[in-house]
Amino acid sequence: MLSLQEIKQQTLPHISDLVVDKWGHQLGEETVLEAYDWVVEVIYDYHRVYEPYQSIKRGDVEHFFEIWCDQFFADPAPAEPHDEWGAPLKEAN
């Protein structure tokens, strides 16, 4: 069973790679650290409750990172319907 420190050490390189793969170097350090903290917390909770990890793989981190991205970058308001050019659709009278 991994300790929290071991999970942090094994998660950091994967988060760094995933951020660069997805956005290049466009995200600020603060946002990357927020993602890292969230993913570590979720992996640690999953590790304690469901299935003890022997090691943290990129796929494990990527799964929870994608969930964080969906929550962090999600559009909070429902979008209006748009045409193929991005203009709002007008109702036909």
Long-range interactions of 17-24: CB distance < 8 A, separation 24+: 17/58, 18/58, 18/61, 18/62, 18/65, 22/69
Separation between Cα atoms, residue 43 and residue 10, nearest integer Å: 11
Return the bridge partners of 88, or none: 82
pLDDT digits (tens, 9 = 90+) for 34-80: 999 999 999 999 988 988 889 999 999 999 999 998 888 776 655 66
Looking at residue 25, its pLDDT comes to 75
Looking at residue 64, its pLDDT comes to 94
Looking at residue 53, its pLDDT comes to 87
Looking at residue 80, its pLDDT comes to 67
For range 15-19, the mean pLDDT? 90
Separation between Cα atoms, residue 66 and residue 64, nearest integer Å: 5
